[in-house]
Homo-oligomer: A and B are copies of this chain.
Amino acid sequence: MSDQHGHLEGNDAAVQAHLKRLRRIEGQVRGIQRMVEEEKYCIDILTQVSAATKALQALALSLLDDHMAHCLVDAARQGGAEQEQKLKEASEAIARLVKS
């Protein structure tokens, strides 16, 4: 894991918005646990798992948007090795998202 800080550093509004989404996703995962404990119908559980998956992907797209608008744009203006590094990282993160 990197020591770098990114666009979240000092950006309280973005941090709060992401936390709000993550707490809702945590609530969805706990709701799925309750459904499993109560032995609910498997198809209904699957519907909630798909909803939580979609919420995580939406969060990922939002994090990626902010990352490109800040970290990637800054790196592009710097050019050189910093730009190459940031493009490579973004490309790998997008590939992981597309495959997950």
Chain A residues close to B by CB (< 8 Å):
1-11, 15, 18-19, 22-23, 25-26, 29-30, 32-33, 36-37, 39-47, 49-54, 56-57, 59-61, 63-69, 71-73, 76-77, 83, 87, 89-91, 93-100
Query: Which of B2, B42, B43, B56 is close to A43, meaning CB atoms less than 8 Å apart?
Result: B2
**Cα-based distance from A47 to B97 in the complex (angstroms):** 9
- Copies of this polypeptide in the complex: 4
Give the chain B neighbours of A11 by CB distance below 8 A. Answer: 39
21 A-B residue contacts at CB 8 Å?
A1-B40, A1-B44, A2-B43, A3-B41, A4-B41, A6-B39, A7-B42, A8-B39, A15-B39, A18-B36, A22-B33, A22-B36, A26-B30, A26-B33, A42-B66, A43-B67, A50-B60, A53-B53, A57-B99, A65-B91, A72-B72
